[in-house]
Amino acid sequence: MSTQKVAITIEEKLLRRIDQLVAAHRFPNRSKAIQEAVAEKLERLDRTRLARECLKLDPTVEQQLADEGVGEDLGEWPA
């Protein structure tokens, strides 16, 4: 995967914490620590969005659709 160099502004307290993790060999460098943190945050946001969308579904309607599809296709399934 290609990478790009960017400049960020970060609170000193956060940077000290990142430096502690690098010193403890949890991450090889600051860049990797920040990259993993951003990736994890984006994954969480995606999961939260998916959960919100799932809440919009009506379980009764979804079950009816599932049952309807199985009923139609059942005759076509191999034994």
Residues 11-21 have a mean pLDDT of 98
pTM over 0.75, yes/no = no
How far apart, in Å, are the Cα atoms of 2 and each of 5, 22, 35, 72? 10, 22, 13, 47
- Average pLDDT, integer, range 36-40: 96
64: helix, strand or coil: helix
Residues whose CB is less than 8 angstroms from the CB of residue 30 and which lie 6 or more positions away in sequence, other chains included: 15, 18, 19, 22
> Residue 76: is its pLDDT beyond 80?
no
Task: Work out the percent of the chain whose per-residue pLDDT is above 70.
Answer: 86
pLDDT over 80 (residue 44) = yes
How would residue 14 be classed by pLDDT, with cut points 50, 70 and 90? Answer: very high
Task: Give the whole-angstrom CA distance, residue 14 versus residue 38.
Answer: 13
Structural domain spans, the chain = 12-72
